[in-house]
Amino acid sequence: MKRKILLLILAIAIFCCAFSTTAIGADAITATKTTSGVLVDGVPQSFNAYNINGHNYFKLRDIAYILNRTDKQFAVVWNEEQNAIYLTTGQGYTAVGGEMQAVAGGAAKTAALTDSWIYLNSKEVYITAYNINDNNYFKLRDLGGYLDFGVDWDGSADTIKISSTKGYTPEDKAVIGIHTAVYDDETTQQLIDSLPGLAKQGINLLIIEVGYNYQFTSHPELAADYGLSFAGARKLADAAKAADIEVVPEIDCLGHQSWAENTSTLLSVYPQLDETPGKYANNEGIYCRSWCPLNPNVDAIVFDLIDELLNAFEANAFHVGLDEVFIIGDEDCPLCSGKDPGELFAQQVNNLYQHIAVDKGATMYMWSDRLLDGKALGVYSEWEASYNGTCTAIDKIPKDIIMCDWHYGARDDYPSIEYLTDAGFRVLTSSWNDIEATENLVQDTMQNRKTNALVLGHLYTTWGDIANDHLAEWAPMKATIAEIK
């Protein structure tokens, strides 16, 4: 696809005191005491809440207790044998003791992911929970979205507002992103020059595909001598921060390790990490190479590269690519032969998630196409959806990964949006260069967003069709961005 040509030329509260769950992942991240005030139906309330990765997390039973006997009340039942929490809207809450008890001191706590099943009105839902001192905490906005109570933020008063008299609405500010690539300090400076124009139009997210085009120091053998420098990355990060635009760097992971006859840096330097070592001379007969997801030496190298880019851009999120993976579980791979593609893909996603989200406390983004069941959805091509078995990974990976759902052709309906949000993921739909297709996708996105808090907004991609210093003139963006704002 044309995006690959570009690469040739040049990532609530939780549960509660009465029940605790097993924490997964040995590494913990830091949770700091939430200092913001909280109003419930206009009345000040004291919650034992924490901030994790910039979001407020509350105990589930505290929220159930405070909303009891209102129009937004809900019951909470813990089934220890099933390791499951059952929530039922419209029913009264039965207190178990310990609700709304303040914890003395404001010291930071360690938080680890928890593994309980969660059911809302008998239907399984996917909400990321953290365990802190044997209690489980969920993001307040996640609970508001699923349980349909009002959540607002008053920045001027540093106050969180919870309402039992209105339903949940997404945050006022939709995510509006643009995706591009940088190859060196020159293309980075061009991007810096575009930031004021992008910010003026409403762009608040910038996903930057860096790949191996960086002067890596952790693995100098993989460094691009004339690639992006640390100073260049930091200069862009500072300029984006001044423009109130979040920066998310990206490396294509697993797939897209070659294009045409050129093999990307990782597999050129370490051919033994290839899923198909020694096969496909000059990359003939394949789309793109993949690294072996079970090779124990891959992750250590890639994690070092990710860490360098997170540091250079001072980023709180990372995009791992993972799109268009066609070579996986190859019959000639000594580690992967005969193994289920969905299991292999899920393991790779989970390894990346463990490092980025759990170890580093950053948000993870990925392209969603390998998780879409092409046959079940019935409307997408083999590029936009999976027909090789990777789609079963959708039920085996964490639900707080943000999915970039790309579709470049015009259609009346994009069922993948609901498919992904039904599975529990937050979604950024993603378009390319067709204005009609972009208009249709944006319209469907915003229609879904009216009733679905998991639909975050839209991401424009350019894939080399426009230079970085002219990004603010990207025609599909200019034609549709007003509808998102």
Span 281-324, pLDDT tens digits: 999 999 999 999 999 999 999 999 999 999 999 999 999 999 99
pLDDT in tens, 275-291: 999 999 999 999 999 99
Is the confidence at residue 47, as pLDDT, over 50?
A: yes
pLDDT in tens, 385-411: 999 999 999 999 999 899 999 999 999
* Pair 109, 57: CB distance under 8 Å: no
Please report, as a single letter, which amino acid is at residue 294: L
Residue closest to 108 by CA, chosen among 50, 147, 57, 163: 50
pLDDT in tens, 336-387: 999 999 999 999 999 999 999 989 989 999 999 999 999 999 999 999 999 9
Q: What is the mean pLDDT of residues 27-39?
A: 85
Assign domain 171-484 one CATH number from 3.40.50.720, 3.20.20.80, 3.40.220.10, 3.40.190.10. Answer: 3.20.20.80
Handedness of CA 201, 207, 210, 215 (dihedral sign): positive
In the chain, where the domains are located: 23-163, 171-484
pTM for this entry: 0.75
Please report, as a single letter, which amino acid is at residue 1: M
* Pair 110, 88: CB distance under 8 Å: no
Residue closest to 196 by CA, chosen among 235, 246, 243, 233: 243
**In the chain, how long is the greatest CA-to-CA distance?**
70
Q: Looking at per-residue confidence, does 133 or 472 come out higher?
A: 472
Q: What does residue 259 show for φ and ψ, rounded to 5 degrees?
A: -155, 130
Residues paired with residue 161 on neighbouring β-strands, in sequence order: 39, 152
Helix residue spans in 180-255 (DSSP H): 185-201, 230-242
CA geometry: angle 369, 375, 379, nearest 5 deg: 70
pLDDT in tens, 135-169: 889 899 889 988 999 999 888 999 999 999 998 87
How many residues does this entry show for the chain?
485
Distance CA 211, CA 207 (A): 12
Is the confidence at residue 6, as pLDDT, over 50?
A: no
